[in-house]
């Protein structure tokens, strides 16, 4: 965006509001990015990210005297919708840098605007942002890619219990975030790849029972997650690559009976689990769904998987298994490692027929399939 051109032609481009002053922001130390959505009045933080502005017909500069004046790493460009009274940041003339402070509300022209949304791509690729990220408890929605690829953000991530939705790729590649991740019960939607590659997040992961779908790649390559994984009974679908390479998780993996679908590679390379329990209503396992070991990463000294337990009784005939659903490579023979498959006694013979047909990466024989 050519801001100098915008400044020269601002009178022509802006649907002018006499009550709003158009000013150039001073060079600041802190980045704050609002988007105002007036209902009571409200603000939405929005942006196309750093260095990729998308100008809209009505271009404004931040009003002089507001809480936001002089707090940007580069002059931010705002657009406004006079009908809905919403403000948005569409870009800036440089990369946003330094600490990011998002307040609960700001005052513009003597009107207080509540910050409710951090919009899609608001701080996408803002590699210059540093320090802790504090999200105020006024925010209800964190949009798609809102903080995607902000590796300079550090410290623990605290998501307030006002948040109900976290968009896809919202915190993906925020490599500097550390400490535990607590997703509050208020969150009902986690978008795809929301925390992908957040390798600095550590400790146990608690998924609230307000979640029904663990979307594609939500925790993909979150290498620092440790301890047991508890999936609540509210979850019905686990998407592809949902926990791929979460190698620090340990103990037994119990997938509740509410789950009917486990996507491809959902638990691929989760080498820390020593047992897998699959639910009643499961209708199939896709390629690498629980393929915990690959030939390139396999180490016999660290092999932990001991058992695979099926709890399904009534729908066994409907279950289909991909050839490599338990193993990531034909070079790794789970049977030779002593992995036992436990099935209900009443359907053991049926299971034997189906499971012994799986030959890639596991090679189970009837002797290794045990009724209980």
Same domain assignment for residues 192 and 238: no
Same domain assignment for residues 237 and 287: yes
Same domain assignment for residues 113 and 184: yes
Model-level pTM? Answer: 0.77
In a domain? residue 286? yes
**3-class DSSP assignment, residue 142:** strand
Contact at 8 Å (CB) between 32 and 109?
A: no
Q: What residues does 86 pair with on adjacent strands?
A: 37, 81
Same domain assignment for residues 189 and 237: no
Same domain assignment for residues 114 and 261: no
CA distance 217 to 242: 4
CA distance 29 to 35: 20
Same domain assignment for residues 150 and 19: yes
Same domain assignment for residues 241 and 300: yes
CA distance 215 to 237: 8
pLDDT at residue 164 in the model = 95
| Number of structural domains the chain divides into | 2
Residue 11: enclosing H or E segment and its boundaries?
Answer: helix 10-13
In a domain? residue 118? yes
Question: Which among 337, 333, 342 is positioned nearest to 312, based on CA atoms?
Answer: 342
Q: DSSP code of 62?
A: P
Same domain assignment for residues 117 and 247: no
Q: What is the DSSP string of 224-257?
A: TEEEEEE--TT--EE-TTTTTT-TTB-EEEE--T
Same domain assignment for residues 42 and 135: yes
In a domain? residue 147? yes
Same domain assignment for residues 146 and 45: yes
pLDDT at residue 6 in the model = 32
pLDDT at residue 135 in the model = 86
Same domain assignment for residues 159 and 283: no
pLDDT at residue 96 in the model = 56
Contact at 8 Å (CB) between 269 and 297?
A: yes
For 117, counting Cβ atoms within 10 Å of its Cβ (0-12 exposed, 13-18 middle, 19+ buried), the class is: buried
In a domain? residue 194? yes
In a domain? residue 206? no
Q: DSSP code of 351?
A: H
In a domain? residue 63? yes
Q: What residues does 88 pair with on adjacent strands?
A: 79
- Please report, in tens digits, the pLDDT of each residue of the chain (372 residues total): 433 333 333 333 332 333 333 333 233 333 344 433 333 455 555 555 664 443 332 333 333 333 333 333 444 444 444 444 444 444 444 455 667 667 676 666 666 667 777 877 877 887 777 888 888 888 888 889 988 998 988 888 889 999 999 999 999 999 999 988 889 999 999 999 999 999 999 988 889 999 999 999 999 999 999 988 999 999 999 999 999 999 899 999 999 989 988 999 999 889 899 999 988 778 778 888 888 877 666 777 778 889 999 876 555 556 778 888 887 666 678 888 889 999 888 888 888 888 887 877 788 888 899 998
pLDDT at residue 62 in the model = 36
Q: Which range of residues forms the domain containing residue 328?
A: 214-220+229-372
Binning the chain into helix, strand and coil, the percentages to the nearest 5 are 10, 30, 65
Tokens of 102: 């998002």
In a domain? residue 360? yes
pLDDT at residue 355 in the model = 83
155 Rama class: left (phi>0) / alpha (psi -120 to 50) / beta: left
CA distance 196 to 222: 6
Question: What are the backbone angles phi and psi of residue 226, rounded to the nearest 5°?
Answer: -135, 170
Contact at 8 Å (CB) between 75 and 93?
A: yes
Tokens of 288: 């690498």
| CB atoms inside a 10 Å sphere around CB 258 | 16
In a domain? residue 204? no
pLDDT at residue 68 in the model = 36
Contact at 8 Å (CB) between 347 and 313?
A: yes
pLDDT at residue 138 in the model = 82
CA distance 210 to 88: 30
Same domain assignment for residues 188 and 261: no
pLDDT at residue 216 in the model = 97
CA distance 87 to 80: 4
CATH of residue 61: 3.80.10.10
CA distance 16 to 66: 18
């Amino acid at each position: 965006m050519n801001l100098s051109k915008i400044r020269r032609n601002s009178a022509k481009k802006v649907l002018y509001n006499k009550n709003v002053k158009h000013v150039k922001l001073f060079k600041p130390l802190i980045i704050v990015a609002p988007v105002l959505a007036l209902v009571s009045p409200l603000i939405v933080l929005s942006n196309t990210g750093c260095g990729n502005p998308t100008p809209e017909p009505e271009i404004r500069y931040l009003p002089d005297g507001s809480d936001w004046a002089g707090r940007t790493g580069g002059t931010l460009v705002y657009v406004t919708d006079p009908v809905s009274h919403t403000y948005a940041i569409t870009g800036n003339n440089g990369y946003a840098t330094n600490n990011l402070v998002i307040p609960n509300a700001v005052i513009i022209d003597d009107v207080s605007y509540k910050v409710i949304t951090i919009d899609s791509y608001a701080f996408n690729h803002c590699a210059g942002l540093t320090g802790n990220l504090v999200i105020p408890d006024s925010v209800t929605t964190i949009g798609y890619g809102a903080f995607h690829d902000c590796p300079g953000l550090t410290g623990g991530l605290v998501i307030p219990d006002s948040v109900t939705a976290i968009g896809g790729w919202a915190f993906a590649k925020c490599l500097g975030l550390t400490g535990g991740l607590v997703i509050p019960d208020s969150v009902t939607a986690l978008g795809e790849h929301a925390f992908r590659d957040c390798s600095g997040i550590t400790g146990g992961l608690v998924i609230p029972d307000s979640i029904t779908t663990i979307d594609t790649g939500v925790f993909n390559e979150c290498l620092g997650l440790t301890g047991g994984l508890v999936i609540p009974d509210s979850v019905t679908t686990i998407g592809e690559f949902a926990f791929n390479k979460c190698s620090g998780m340990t103990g037994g993996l119990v997938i509740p009976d509410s789950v009917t679908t486990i996507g491809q590679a959902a638990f691929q390379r989760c080498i820390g689990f020593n047992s897998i329990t699959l639910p009643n209503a499961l209708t199939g396992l896709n390629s690498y769904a629980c393929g915990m070991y690959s030939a390139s990463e396999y180490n016999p000294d660290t092999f932990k998987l001991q058992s695979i337990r099926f709890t399904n009784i009534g729908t066994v005939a409907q279950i289909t298994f991909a050839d490599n659903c338990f193993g990531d490579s034909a070079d790794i023979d789970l049977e030779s490692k002593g992995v036992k498959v436990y099935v209900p006694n009443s359907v053991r013979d049926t299971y034997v027929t189906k499971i012994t047909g799986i030959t890639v990466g596991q090679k189970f024989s009837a002797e290794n399939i045990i009724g209980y």
